Structure 1
Amino acid sequence: MPGISARGLSHEGRRQLAVNLTRVLALYRSILDAYIIEFFTDNLWDTLPCSWQEALDGLNPPQLATMLLGMPGEGEVVRYRSVWPLTLLALKSTACALAFTRTPGFQTTSEFLENPSQSSRLTAPFRKHVRPKKQHEIRRLGELVKKLSDFTGCTQVVDVGSGQGHLSRFMALGLGLMVKSIEGDQRLVERAQRLDQELLQALEKEEKRNPQVVQTSPRHSPHHVVRWVDPTALCEELLLPLENPCQGRARLLLTGLHACGDLSVALLRHFCCPEVVALASVGCCYMKLSDPGGYPLSQWVAGLPGYELPYRLREGACHALEEYAERLQKAGPGLRTHCYRAALETVIRRARPELRRPGVQGIPRVHELKIEEYVQRGLQRVGLDPQLPLNLAALQAHQAQENRVVAFFSLALLLAPLVETLILLDRLLYLQEQGFHAELLPIFSPELSPRNLVLVATKMPLGQALSILETEDS
């Protein structure tokens, strides 16, 4: 999906983008506010302009991927069966023009061509216990952190929200960085320490088999710390050096791979500390941001009319546009899940009007079920009688509108990147208001990792180093 690069925008350009985003999001707030499971109970289709309904009605999933989301299949040519209303075309163009691009600035052969579960860019010891998505992420972010560390003269990397330590291990034992890992869950830290020892043993065996790759410098395993980071207060543990630096004070680089909710905000606040010289943060779980406190951070965005992003909008910003577009192209039966769940909601409301949008535990193999079977299992999962009398004709009428449900959800998904762009733009502006240098770079393949924009910040101009950060290592 096309978009705008944060690198190409001046400070004033970023401010103007924030203005444009708040205006557009206010204009289409009704679509973003809607819950797809209320498609039938709230008659969401009829909330769209009639001309939009005519243009979208009857489109199959591949056509929606191509015409609405701008994700044509291989060798496919976009052909509109009718003239779309200018307002719908304007929405599509605006969504593409105002969202930060999610396409990485490098082109490389896929690292999973030979084996879909093993990155060809990571050696075997670093792939063990790591899923393909995470293999891609730790390699790309680790390499960027290494380059940023070299450029800023950092003496220590602090990995915040380190989980099982996959990123920390790669940075420390694969790239030779001094790494401190901070994680609040004791069990995850204990697991990380066991995996550290396992990896060290594997690397030692590898060296014995291949003496030509013997490590010339001593290895330093990550130093793991169990600590919850309070986003509202500075954490001294983040700022403590592992070793006394030879000259002057420690120079720290803070990083977080998909630091959840307010944890990303905590990294930004700690960047103001004199010990911290660089930041490389990939955020996620925007719906978990504190309100107020987590957004907005910048004075500029806080002063704009319509800047508010309630929970529903921030939750929508976490969807995977590229992954859903691929599902649309394949037109698999799994797409009917939203329609089935929306139909179930009508039955729940009739049985218990006060029960709205209850969580339904996953129902396996939904696509193999008749709609009445799904509803019966869903009723049982929310504590209602699965033998309630059902209006089968009404349920089948709902099922006949499956493509409309998919079309409405696709509209919301088209707008979701604008919400993410505003959240990340607010963070850029916040750092710039403090006098720092900040950029956003798409470094992961969006098909593998939907939250693929890394916020890079330094206390000196990046200059030519910025292009080096984006490139792939050979």
Structure 2
Amino acid sequence: MAAFLAGDFIQLPDGQRSPAEYLATLAEFIAQHSYLTSFYGLHFITQDYWRRSAFPREWAVLADESWESLEAVASSGQIQDQWPASLKTFIRQAHSIGLPRDPAACPLFGDVECRYLLESLWAAITNGMNRKKLEEVTSLAAIIAHIANTSGCTHVLDIGAGQGYLSSALAYQYGLDVVCLDGSGLQLHGGQSRSAHIERLLEHHKMRQGGRLRFVEMVLKFDKVAGQPSDDEPQIVRQIRQLIQDSESTSGAAGQESPSAESRWLICGLHTCGDLAPTMLKSIVPGTSDRSGIPQARVVVNVGCCYHVLTERDVANSATEFHARHQTDDGLEQVACGFPMSKVLKDQGLKLGLEARMVACQAARRWAPNPKQTRQSFRRLFYRAVLQAILNDHREQLPAARQPEESTGSDARPQDISSDDVLQRMSDYAVRRLPSAAFESPLQYISAALDRLGVAPDSPLRDPAVTTEYFERHAAAEKQIAVVWTLRALMADAIESLILVDRWMYLVEQANERRAALAASVGHDCCSGSSDGSDRELASPRNMALIVVGL
């Protein structure tokens, strides 16, 4: 049986000679432009960011450009000859520094035997998938099936599976025995109904491939810092080991051939949230720590996401308490340190901070196909900044201060908290997300926000003249915020690439009998209707897969 990976694999951008050199380049670029990643839109006006921050004064020329020009900068890196050389250099570097994201150009998947190049999902299996999900599942399911076949894996555990879109493709189209695991009973109930519908359609058309799909509700738990020395193995290892044993026993009880102690499993996760991705790599893969891992896990395939809820070593932020009490969509409990993982970054003492990790979740290339939505996002940021200026200037007319902002929506976001800015953060009133109708005009927005804050109906703050005066005084800030937000979003590729290469480097550093690959495995963009393919949109901004294969 031909091995899928003959050695560790990573595809670097042009000009990068080694992964270590690439990590250094990314770290330097991120540090050089930290004034962008630390930008906090809510305080743009109150802190006079445009004039007082380290934002280069010569880059202010972008405020005179059209909205369409800003969208072109974000989506394709389009520049103008008359712009300052430093600005043009930054835009070019930001668009070229990230990991290559085109799976068609990845040598790892160049083998024509890899069926994802040839095969589309059957219509019965695509039921309920939107366009983005269809692109993701079609590519990743076929790649996983190819890896499973070359690695001798017949069983798959899909962690954080939701309604089982990926699981159903693996089971019904590729004939694998799949356990669909999620911490949400509601999600799994929807997946079971969907699975029953698919089975009826496949039976009717005589298209069953012999695969099997089982749904399991389970909240995964792990130690405070997974993968660190301890007498006890992480809870997640015990849970998954027991799940595999139960699944194999069930297979035998059903009259199927029961797998032996040497059974081979492929464990996967599409868009595993926050710390779940590094925890899978630290705790599940045998030999990546001082724990035994899951011996049956011959292959792990992981596509991560939600870097803003990733726990970072030695970084205190406003999400700390949020992590301790929050269950993610993947059913994850407690906290494990997810960044940095590699020795090379730990030795450097590199820290990103919550704001930078939130930037990593951006997808600026998606702005161009959705100009109306992009403008609405800019407007919401502007409205919230003006509201903060009003609140700061009229504190005596407000109710007692509430909790700091924790919304992760476009209205406001959490940020790192240090002892130096606690007093400043006390003025961040928690407006949270408001309905879309509130953003029809400044008057409607301020009225809705004051209602949310419990401001008295007869307060002078409700005088329309106050709102009008503030919006007129700070009118220029709308474009200025859009400029900074655009350039900030360009940092996303660099920060996400740093996080991903750190995970790959960690696996390589283990020097065990495993091979690790980091490669684009899901279509990053797709044609959106034009005959010449010039009108393209991002199909899946989180499309980089970490693949670990045992020898």
| TM-score after normalising by structure 1 | 0.82
**C-alpha distance in structure 1 between counterparts of 2:429 and 2:195, whole Å:** 43
The answer to whether 1:299 aligns with 2:306 is: no
Q: Which moved more, 1:244-253 or 1:336-345?
A: 244-253
RMSD: 2.8
Q: 2:430 corresponds to which residue?
A: 358
Q: State the distance in 1 between where 2:541 and 2:472 align.
A: 34
Q: Write the deviation string for residues 222-252 of structure 1: whole angstroms up to 9, x where unpaired.
A: 3534242426324234242533765661212
Match for residue 151 of structure 1?
Answer: 150
Q: Secondary structure at the match of 1:235?
A: helix
* C-alpha contact 2:431 2:449 (8 A) present in aligned 1: no
CA deviation profile, 1:399-419 (whole Å, cap 9, x unmatched): 343222111100100112211
Change (3 A) 1:7 1:177: same
Give the deviation of 1:88 after TM superposition. Answer: 1.8
1:49 and 2:51 correspond? no
Q: Distance in 2 between matches of 1:162 and 1:331?
A: 30
Q: Deviations over 1:150-188 (max 9, x none)?
A: 121113111111112221111111211111122122332
Q: How does 1:206-221 map to 2 (within 5 A)?
A: 206-207=205-206, 214-215=207-208, 218-221=210-213
How do 1:65-76 and structure 2 match up within 5 A? 65-66=71-72, 68-69=73-74, 71=76
Contact 2:121–2:169 (CA under 8 A) maintained in structure 1: no
Aligned residues of 1:282 and 1:453 also touching (Cα < 8 A): yes
Q: 1:143 to 1:89 in 2, by over 3 A?
A: same
How many percent of aligned residue pairs carry the same amino acid?
24
Matches of 1:374 and 1:159 in 2, distance apart?
43
2:296 equivalent to 1:275: yes
Q: 3-state DSSP class of the match of 1:202?
A: helix
**What residue is the counterpart of 2:68 in the other structure?**
62
Q: 2:359 aligns with which of 308, 311, 316?
A: 316
1:449 to 528, 540, 544: 540
The answer to whether 1:371 aligns with 2:435 is no
Aligned residues: 427
Structure-2 residue corresponding to 1:110? none
- Once the two structures are superposed, residues 239-275 of structure 1 have per-residue CA deviations (whole angstroms, 9 ceiling, x without a partner) of 4253376566121211101100111112112112332
Map 1:18-37 → 2, pairs under 5 A: 18-37=23-42
CA change 1:14–1:31 in 2 (3 A) is same
SS at match of 2:11: helix
- How far apart in 2 are the matches of 1:430 and 1:266? 12
Among residues 196, 214, 228, which one is paired with 2:220 in the alignment? 228
Q: Return 5+ residue gaps in structure 2 as ranges.
A: 1-8, 107-118, 227-233, 249-256, 287-292, 314-336, 396-423, 526-537
Query: Do the aligned residues in 1 keep the contact of 2:26 with 2:97 (CA within 8 Å)?
Result: yes
- Map of 1:182-193 to 2, 5 A cutoff? 182-193=181-192
1:38 to 36, 43, 65: 43
Question: Is 1:287 paired with 2:301?
Answer: no
**Unaligned regions of 5+ residues in structure 1, if any?**
73-77, 108-119, 208-213, 461-474
* Deviation per residue, 1:82-137 (Å, 9 max, x gap): 2x323222222322332113333269xxxxxxxxxxxx943332222322222222
Q: Any idea what the Cα deviations from partners look like across 1:38-59, whole Å, max 9, x if unmatched?
A: 2212222222222111x31211
Distance in 2 (CA, whole Å) between partners of 1:298 and 1:236 is 25
**Structure 1 395/81 Cα, relative in aligned 2: closer, same or farther at 3 Å?**
farther
Distance 1:338 1:420 in 2: 23
Q: 1:266 to 1:297 in 2, by over 3 A?
A: same
| Inter-partner Cα distance in structure 2 for 1:284 and 1:171 | 21
Q: Which residue of 1 aligns with 2:477?
A: 401
- 8 A contact 2:75–2:367 mirrored in 1: no
User: Normalising by structure 2, what TM-score?
Assistant: 0.71
1:161–1:259 Cα contact (<8 Å) kept: yes
Q: Distance in 1 between matches of 2:302 and 2:436?
A: 35
In the alignment, is the contact (CA less than 8 A) between 2:175 and 2:211 conserved in 1?
yes
Q: Which of 11, 17, 23 does residue 7 from structure 1 map onto? A: 11
The residue number in structure 1 matching 2:418 is none
The 5-angstrom pairing of residues 339-350 of structure 1 reads: 339-350=382-393
- Partner secondary structure for residue 440 of structure 1: strand
SS at match of 2:302: strand
Q: Secondary structure at the match of 2:435?
A: coil
Cα offset, 1:79, TM superposition? 6.3
CA spacing shift, 1:219–1:153, aligned 2, 3 Å:
closer
- Which residue type is aligned with residue 7 of structure 1? Q
Q: Distance in 2 between matches of 1:130 and 1:70?
A: 25
Query: 2:213 aligns to what SS in structure 1?
Result: coil
d(CA) in 1 for partners of 2:297, 2:62 = 51
Q: For residues 365 and 224 of structure 1, do their structure 2 counterparts lie closer, same or farther at Cα, with a shift above 3 Å needed?
A: same
Structure 1 CA distance for aligned equivalents of residues 217 and 75 of structure 2: 45
Does structure 1 conserve the Cα–Cα contact (< 8 Å) formed by 2:158 and 2:269? yes
Distance 1:377 1:246, change over 3 A: closer
Quick check: 1:184–1:229 contact (8 Å CA) kept in 2? no
Distance 2:429 2:305 in 1: 24
Displacement of 1:198: 2.3
For the 8 Å contact 2:274–2:304, the answer to whether it is kept is yes
Following superposition, the deviation at residue 395 of structure 1 comes to 1.0
The 3-state SS of whatever aligns with 2:201 is helix
For residues 379 and 103 of structure 1, what CA distance do their matches in structure 2 show?
A: 47
